[in-house]
Amino acid sequence: MQTKPFRIGTRGSPLAMAQAHETRARLMAAHGLPEEMFEIVVLSTKGDRITDRSLALIGGKGLFTEEIEAQLSSGELDFAVHSSKDMPTKLPEGLELAAFLPREDIRDAFIGRTSKRLLELPENATVGSASLRRQALIRRLRPDLNVVVFRGQVETRLRKLDEGQADATLLAFAGLKRLGKSDIPTELLDPDQFPPAPAQGAICVEARRDDRRVRDLLSAIDDATTHQAVACERSFLASLDGSCRTPIAGYAVSDGMQVRFRGMILTPDGTRFHEVEETGHASAAAMVGERAGVRIREEAGSSFFESWS
């Protein structure tokens, strides 16, 4: 019988806290447990502390998880809540993504200060984004635009936009919805034209692989179709050695029986890109993503990937 509170690790941003609170609420409802049985532990990560440079320059996605995963591995935390798209494809030994909450909207949200739509921005307008994927997709659609790096939490990026540091910015619509800011976007971008980051919109819960008690606890809130779709997308990313240094997009849809995947890779300047589609049984979702990665890598050729270095 659990007598001490489960310790939940999270970053301290408003979005991270909203995700941790949602996870706690779902666990309370699933198991009939009171709030005091869950302690939310806020940790600062290197990615939170360094906000003046792009992730590609300071080490990639692991910057948002390293400190949290160290405490998870040591047993100081029972599990941790993350944005799935922030997770490296290779986790520390002994850790796994044990559960995924039902996925939110996967689309990117365009927030325009001078124009309401991306394609309506005036020539040479400035768009702020820290994502290499978004930067490449913007340049693919509008090579005339000036793209600058926007780092920081959602509120920080919106403040920079209000201050006139850019004419527009892009954020994940899922995050805005979780923060109660779903009215802010001036356009929601079509994922067929502007595909999201792998695992965008999905909250994941990380735990120790050998902790059966916690894994049983988390299994009650694991959404199977989200788990399958994200497994497919992360496998695609892994097969391409994807990180914050590579413009890679992709999303999968699972109905519990089949999983359908669409992916794209781009050069950072957006001038060259390749797309792939793959379908397979949902029980083999990771293999579907891997097949898509192998196919697109063969189609693009080694010279394409050399441009990322």
d(CA 210, CA 201): 27
CA-based end-to-end distance of the chain:
52
Pairing relationship of beta strands 273-281 and 258-266 according to DSSP bridges? antiparallel
**Helices 285-300 + 224-239 axis angle, to 10:** 30
**What SS3 class is residue 28?**
helix
Instruction: Strand 258-266: give its sheet, edge to edge.
Output: 248-254, 258-266, 273-281
Phi (first) and psi of residue 100, to 5 degrees? -130, 130
Phi (first) and psi of residue 47, to 5 degrees? -65, -30
Query: Which residue is catalytic, options 48, 78, 86, 269?
Result: 86
Q: Can 223 be counted among the known catalytic residues? A: no
Contact 249, 190 (CB under 8 A): no
d(CA 18, CA 101): 13
Of 147, 151, 141, 174, whose CA–CA distance to 251 is shortest?
174
Q: Which amino acid is at 171?
A: L
263 exposure class (CB count in 10 Å sphere: 0-12, 13-18, 19+): buried
d(CA 278, CA 235): 13
Q: Which residues are catalytic?
A: 86
